[in-house]
Structure 1
Amino acid sequence: MKKLLICFAILFGFTSSSLSQLDHTAYAQQKPTPSYAKWSKIAIAKTKEKYPNAQVVDYLYVGRTNGPRTSTEKFKLWLKENQKEFGVYVDIEFTKETEQVVNVTYTETAR
């Protein structure tokens, strides 16, 4: 009887950990990290520096433009400061070769 209980315990422990790993692996395969993830973190951090009293409510990845030496990642962030909500377009220009940030521009919008 003890052997049977030990077998069940080992089998149950193995099965639940295996299922957990399978679930995690399947989830990781379904949700790959987007190529712009690094730049979205920079966009949010730079926006918080420029608007220190505002909260970032939401953000949207707009897209990328490519030039001969630099590329620009574009985002729209929605901010809330006191009772005011507004949008800010954030463009991050960086060198293609080194991915060093060259320029960050902000354009406020009411919508």
Structure 2
Amino acid sequence: MKKFLSCIILVSFLFSVVGHQEVEGQVDYEKYGRIAIALVKEDYPGAPVQEYQYLGRKQVNGDKVTDSFEFRVTEQGRTKRVIVNVTHDLKNKKTLDISVQEQEAQ
């Protein structure tokens, strides 16, 4: 019985640790997602942002990574695909570079 309870406690602990790590990673890119949203809203004032998708993270070098976000924006009746790349340092959590690429939506 003691072994059974010990196993349950151990499994519960492992699930809580794994869940906590996923939340921390999620919060990490959400910060840069908010930056990307603010930039798109500033560049396209009054244009509704229809879709927003996190495209993923790429390692640049060392502690530098780039998070990419895709937006669908309608401006003057035309839908555009806007990609925002936010490059930042994982150690000091400083934003190093932001780039915006606009394409016609297909």
The RMSD of aligned alpha carbons is 1.8
Match of 1:77 among 54, 64, 71: 71
Q: Deviations over 1:61-80 (max 9, x none)?
A: 10001121311100110101
1:1-111 aligned within 5 A: 33=23, 34-35=26-27, 36-66=29-59, 67-111=61-105
Larger radius of gyration: 1
TM-score, with length taken from structure 2: 0.67
Percent of pairs with identical residues: 27
For 1:86 and 1:109, the matched residues in 2 are separated by: 6
- The count of residues paired between Structure 1 and Structure 2 equals 81
TM-score, with length taken from structure 1: 0.64
Where does the alignment leave 5 or more consecutive residues of structure 2 unmatched?
1-18
For 2:63 and 2:33, the matched residues in 1 are separated by: 21
